[in-house]
Amino acid sequence: MYSTKDIAVVILNWNGKALLKQFLPWVVNYSDNAKIYVVDNASTDSSVAFVTEHFPSIITIQNTENGGFAKGYNDALRYIEEPLLCLLNSDIEVTENWLKPIVYEFNANPETAIIQPKILDYKNKVYFEYAGAAGGFIDKYGYPYCRGRIFDTIEKDIGQYNDTRTIFWASGACFFIKNSVFKELNGFDESYFAHMEEIDLCWRAFNTNHEAKYVGSSTVYHVGGATLSNTNPRKTYLNFRNSLFTLVKNTDANVFLRTFLRLILDGIAAFRFLFQLKPKYFMAIMQAHVSFYKGLGQILAQRKQLPKRPNYYETRSIVWSYFINKRQKF
């Protein structure tokens, strides 16, 4: 049986002293007996010195380079032995007893390998937060969406997602996973650098018959966009490129047809940005496609080595459902 002592709360940091100063006290005060780690991705500010001075109980792990979210965690987690991992963004405010429902779910259902809590918006705490909301799903063509957030439509939290239920992917903003499963899956795909790597990991977990859960009785608040704003074209580039990588690697059948249709939908999205007089976002999608084509050989080689599993999607096309049928809630 697990307890909070079996949890490693692991916070990845890059030049985030201000965020650590703001949010670490909540983690320390409300994480019971969990072991807390700060993993530093070769920061050039005084983050490490700040943690060492003000939070001597926290263990710091210093990476030699800024390898992004994926490599940063991969490099650090090999040194962490606690059986349950919580990968926590540095811009998360946790709440009292946030870990207890998580431990309960891991104990009650041994098949559960990955868990996400309820993620609300730190800036407007009665609304869900973009990055994960009340648990993630994916459509046939690899477009992710959430309960509580579909594209840019975000729901108010009125208790509609206070349940515990199976989901397809959990947000990397607050991501619980069994250490053994993380290692079994060989961690995150480091070619992603940042964004979508947790969805890829969850898809690989699904394809090897592991289960992801949303636990609505545990709540955290996420600032969001503290590293890369949602309005940053770099984020658009990474999301579109890495989403294509994820689809090709993990979809069970008709990979070329599904990818072709996905590329068409991406093209429509790109021209929509252009018509909205947002040429930088148009170019970000075009560059994402160029990068995807360059990496396609490697992705196809990975695909051959990975198991597949059907019926990963509940919605055939979230794009059609949202933009054509005007269904804007889960």
> Distance from CA of residue 98 to its chain's centroid?
18
pLDDT of res. 227: 55
Cβ(137)–Cβ(168) under 8 Å?
A: yes
Average pLDDT, the chain: 96
Average the pLDDT over 300-325 and give the result.
97
pLDDT of res. 230: 61
* pLDDT > 70 in the chain, percent: 98
DSSP states of 173-240: TEEEEEHHHHHHTTSS-GGG-SSSHHHHHHHHHHHTT-EEEEEEEEEEEE---SSS-TT-HHHHHHHH
Residue 169 has what DSSP assignment? B
Cβ(30)–Cβ(97) under 8 Å?
A: yes
Q: pLDDT (tens digit, 9 = 90+) per residue, 146-200?
A: 999 999 999 999 999 999 999 999 999 999 999 999 999 999 999 999 899 999 9
Q: pLDDT (tens digit, 9 = 90+) per residue, 73-88?
A: 999 999 999 999 999 9
pLDDT of res. 323: 94
Average the pLDDT over 311-326 and give the result.
96
pLDDT of res. 232: 87
**Choice between 224 and 227, residue whose per-residue pLDDT is larger:** 224
Q: pLDDT (tens digit, 9 = 90+) per residue, 191-215?
A: 999 899 999 999 999 999 999 999 9
pLDDT tier for residue 120 given thresholds of 50, 70 and 90: very high
Report the C-alpha gap between 156 and 126 in whole angstroms.
6
Phi-psi region of 306 (alpha: psi -120 to 50; beta: other; left: phi over 0): beta
Facing residues of 146 across strands?
136, 149
Burial (CB count <10 Å: 0-12, 13-18, 19+), residue 156: exposed
Res 226 pLDDT > 70: no
Contacts of 167 (CB under 8 A, 6+ apart): 116, 135, 136, 137, 147, 212, 213, 214
Long-range contacts of 81-84 (CB under 8 A, 24+ apart): 81/8, 81/179, 82/6, 82/7, 82/8, 82/35, 82/179, 83/2, 83/6, 83/178, 83/179, 83/180, 84/2, 84/6, 84/7, 84/8, 84/176, 84/177, 84/178, 84/179
Res 229 pLDDT > 60: no
User: What's the pTM?
Assistant: 0.96
Res 231 pLDDT > 90: no
Taking alpha carbons only, the member of 163, 145, 164 closest to residue 155 is 145
